[in-house]
Structure formats: structure tokens, C-alpha cells
């Protein structure tokens, strides 16, 4: 077999050189958002870097068979977010310019969604690129997540383990748990359940449909939800999210939201708390994306999709996904950004809603800037990430198998 040799190639397990796959959107993203050290820069967020950004970029580099960038992303993350060792320390979620002018970790609390994606990236990189070091680090990270970010809730909340958004701040007392549904990507959890059958992952996957059903608000995914022992799930606002999202839109940080949500009171002798206004927006949009890219033959995927018919119903007669929906299913801001259209594409495809999906495709196509090769002008970090996940899947650059493993175009 004849294999091409390029500068951006590496030795594959079969002894030939596997080329980096051409992916114009990824190449444009690298040029616009990743520096030479391997740091992903969120220009709309004061040039900060998050563990989420590093984890997502590592996934895209794997899909593109771009090992040089994967390596640099990993090294920067390990050196700057994990005290030099990701096998020992989960990465801090936020790094940027401090008030004293220094560039450093601004919040050391990890973010469990980034931790999960990074673990997945490393384990799959270890398998696909035959790199035992990546496999060992990913295995260690999985153990740390299970120990520090997975919680067993009481039976009034869940029948199995669930993922907390971070090690600190989301179990403020003995009877309250605060969660973010978008932090638990089903394909990643399924993969960990397959790789580590003795861990909490299989039970967590089985719990997801019930969890989604309990937290869905009028058929839409919420950004945040909480459970109080003896009372069950209820809506939870994120009062500080606006300061994090700003005008361009970013998910609220786990630590900021945790600090802003007051603790609940014990269930004993206290009437159930009434519903309070909360929203599905920049975080929740990823729930649809994660379900959309999952293998639809998995029973829990079908059950989970059935928990969120609100978005599909809305898009069957409206052009754009809403930016903000309250917990009563009322659209508060109908002007969803470009990334939202990308995020719902796999979801609509999974549901067989071809007309609604085409509307989102057409919107994205019309917003591609030929000068930058990115979506929107200016191109926002979060929009590009959602687009990379969605476009990569739609273009069959990757598929996620029933067991959660990656099937890649280049492999």
C-alpha cells in the first residue's frame, strides 16, 4: 500500500504515514484562535483560556488527524492548568489576565464537562495514535473525575450517580445538589462505561433519560437545575450568568454560578419551593448537540431525545433557534446566534426533521466569511466550536459508535 508523506504526518500503527485530513474550518480555527504554544484564546472573553476550549480543540485535532496541534494543546494545558501533571491534577477551568497584570490561573476549580471531554480525547488519542502516555493520563483523569465530580443523590432525586459541575460549590449542604445538564455528554459517558465497566459510568448513562425528563422545562433543556432531598428537581436561575455571557454569549462559569445560587433549606417541615424563573440558553444548547451526535440505536438516546421535544416543535414553524427560553417554555429572546443553528443540526437530523435542518444549514452557509473561513463577522469563539462539532459530524469526518468510540474519516 502506498501512503503519502507530508510534514504534518505521523507514523500510524500499520507502518505507513497517515495524512492530516484537510478540514478548512479547523484550519481557519487554528489560525484565528490557537497560538503557537497551543493555547486557545477566547478573544471575546478578554483573551482568556478555559479548560473547555482546550478540550474541544483537542477533540477537533483528533478528528483532523492533526497530532502536532493535539500535542501542543495537551502540553500547554498540562503546564498551565494542571500544575504540570494532568495525571495528578484536573485542569483549572479559567486562565487569563489577573488584575495585577499577570497571566495565570484565575479560578482553580475544574469544570467537569471539560474534564470529561479531555479524558475522552486522551483515551481515544492513545488508542488511535498508539500512544500509551495519553492512555495513561486519560485513565488517571477518569479516576479523578469519578472520585471528585460524581455524586450519589438521594432516591428523591436520582436512582443512580450524576455528574456535578465541579468538585466544589455544587453540593452546598447535605440536601442540595446543583447540576448542569450540558455537562454530561452522553457519548462520552457511554465510552467511559465501556472502557471502565466497574466505574460509575454505566449507571450514570442509565440514569440520564430519567434525569433529562425530570429537569426538562416545557420540553426544553435548562441551563441549570437543582434537586433538594425530599422535594425533587426544580428550576434554578443563574443570576450571574449574564455577566459571564456578555453581549456575545458564553456559557456561565461553574464557579461563578455556584457562588451566586443560594443554598436551599432542608425538606423536613418546609413546604416545597415554588418554581422560579430560569432559562435554557448558552449552556443548554449543547444538550441538543450531544444527543444529536450520539448513536441513535442506543436505547437511552431515543429516550433522552423524547425529553426535549420543545426545541424541535419550535423549529418546525420558526426559522431560528431561540437564544433564551424560560422554564415555562416561553421564548424570551428569539434571536439565537449562529452557533445555536449549528448545535441543533445533528439533533434535528436525528429526529428526521429535514426541512428544519435545512433552514439551519442555509443560515450557516450564508454566514461563512470567505476571508477568515469562519462563521460570522466577527467570528465568536463559542459559535465556531459548536460549528466544528456539528459540521464535522454532518460531513462524516467522525461518527460516535454505539459504545462511544470514535470512527474517524482518516482511520
* C-alpha to C-alpha distance for 135 and 132, rounded to whole angstroms: 5
In sequence order, what E strands does 59-184 have?
A: 94-97, 103-107, 150-152, 161-163, 176-179
**Residue with the three cell numbers 483528533:** 62
52 is known as an active-site residue? yes
What value does the CA radius of gyration of the chain take, rounded to a whole number of Å? Answer: 20
Per-residue CA distances from 55 to 77, 118, 238 (Å): 9, 5, 24
Strands lying side by side in the sheet with 279-280? 279-280, 324-326, 331-333
How far the first Cα of the chain sits from its last, in Å, is: 15
For the record, the C-alpha cell of 32 comes out as: 484565528
* C-alpha to C-alpha distance for 32 and 371, rounded to whole angstroms: 11
Which of 42, 52, 207, 383 does the annotation list as catalytic? 52
* C-alpha to C-alpha distance for 225 and 139, rounded to whole angstroms: 29
Phi, psi of 107 (to 5 degrees): -150, 115
**Residue with the three cell numbers 464537562:** 113
Longest dimension (CA), the chain: 75
113 is known as an active-site residue? yes
Which of 42, 71, 113, 361 does the annotation list as catalytic? 113
Tell me the catalytic residues.
52, 113
Amino acid at each position: 500500500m502506498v501512503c503519502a508523506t507530508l510534514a504534518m504526518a505521523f507514523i500510524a500503527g500499520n507502518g505507513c504515514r497517515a495524512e492530516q485530513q484537510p478540514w478548512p474550518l479547523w484550519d481557519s480555527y487554528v489560525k484565528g484562535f490557537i497560538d503557537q504554544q497551543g493555547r486557545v484564546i477566547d478573544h471575546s472573553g478578554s483573551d482568556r483560556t478555559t479548560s473547555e476550549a482546550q478540550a474541544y480543540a483537542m477533540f477537533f485535532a483528533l478528528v483532523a488527524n492533526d497530532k502536532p496541534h493535539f500535542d501542543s494543546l495537551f502540553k500547554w494545558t498540562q503546564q498551565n492548568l494542571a500544575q504540570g501533571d494532568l495525571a495528578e491534577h484536573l485542569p483549572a477551568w479559567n486562565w487569563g489576565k489577573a488584575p495585577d497584570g499577570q497571566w495565570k490561573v484565575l479560578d482553580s476549580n475544574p469544570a467537569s464537562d471539560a474534564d470529561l471531554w479531555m479524558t475522552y480525547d486522551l483515551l481515544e488519542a492513545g488508542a488511535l495514535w498508539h500512544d500509551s502516555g495519553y492512555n495513561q493520563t486519560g485513565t488517571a483523569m477518569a479516576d479523578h473525575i469519578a472520585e471528585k465530580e460524581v455524586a450519589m443523590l438521594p432516591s428523591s432525586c436520582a436512582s443512580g450517580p450524576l455528574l456535578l459541575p465541579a468538585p466544589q460549590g455544587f453540593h452546598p449542604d447535605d440536601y442540595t445538589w446543583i447540576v448542569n445538564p450540558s455537562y454530561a455528554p452522553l457519548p462520552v459517558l457511554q465510552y467511559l462505561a465501556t472502557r471502565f465497566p466497574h466505574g460509575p459510568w454505566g449507571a450514570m448513562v442509565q440514569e440520564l433519560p430519567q434525569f433529562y425528563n425530570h429537569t426538562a422545562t416545557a420540553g426544553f433543556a435548562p441551563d441549570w437545575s437543582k434537586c433538594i432531598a425530599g422535594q425533587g428537581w426544580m428550576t434554578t436561575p443563574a443570576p450571574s450568568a449574564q455577566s459571564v455571557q456578555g453581549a456575545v454569549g458564553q456559557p456561565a462559569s461553574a464557579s461563578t454560578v455556584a457562588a451566586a445560587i443560594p443554598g436551599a433549606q432542608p425538606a423536613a417541615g418546609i413546604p416545597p419551593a415554588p418554581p422560579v424563573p430560569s432559562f435554557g440558553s448558552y449552556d443548554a444548547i449543547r444538550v441538543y448537540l450531544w444527543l444529536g451526535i450520539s448513536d441513535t440505536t442506543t436505547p437511552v438516546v431515543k429516550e433522552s431525545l423524547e425529553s426535549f421535544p420543545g426545541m424541535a416543535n419550535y423549529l418546525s414553524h420558526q426559522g431560528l433557534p431561540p437564544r433564551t427560553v424560560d422554564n415555562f417554555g416561553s421564548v424570551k429572546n428569539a434571536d439565537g446566534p449562529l452557533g445555536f443553528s449549528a448545535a441543533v443540526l445533528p439533533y434535528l437530523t436525528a429526529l428526521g426533521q429535514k426541512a428544519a435542518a435545512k433552514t439551519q444549514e442555509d443560515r450557516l452557509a450564508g454566514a461563512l466569511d470567505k476571508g477568515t473561513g469562519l462563521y460570522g463577522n466577527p467570528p465568536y469563539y463559542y459559535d465556531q466550536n459548536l460549528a466544528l462539532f456539528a459540521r464535522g459530524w454532518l460531513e462524516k469526518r467522525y461518527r460516535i459508535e454505539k459504545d462511544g468510540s470514535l470512527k474517524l474519516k482518516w482511520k
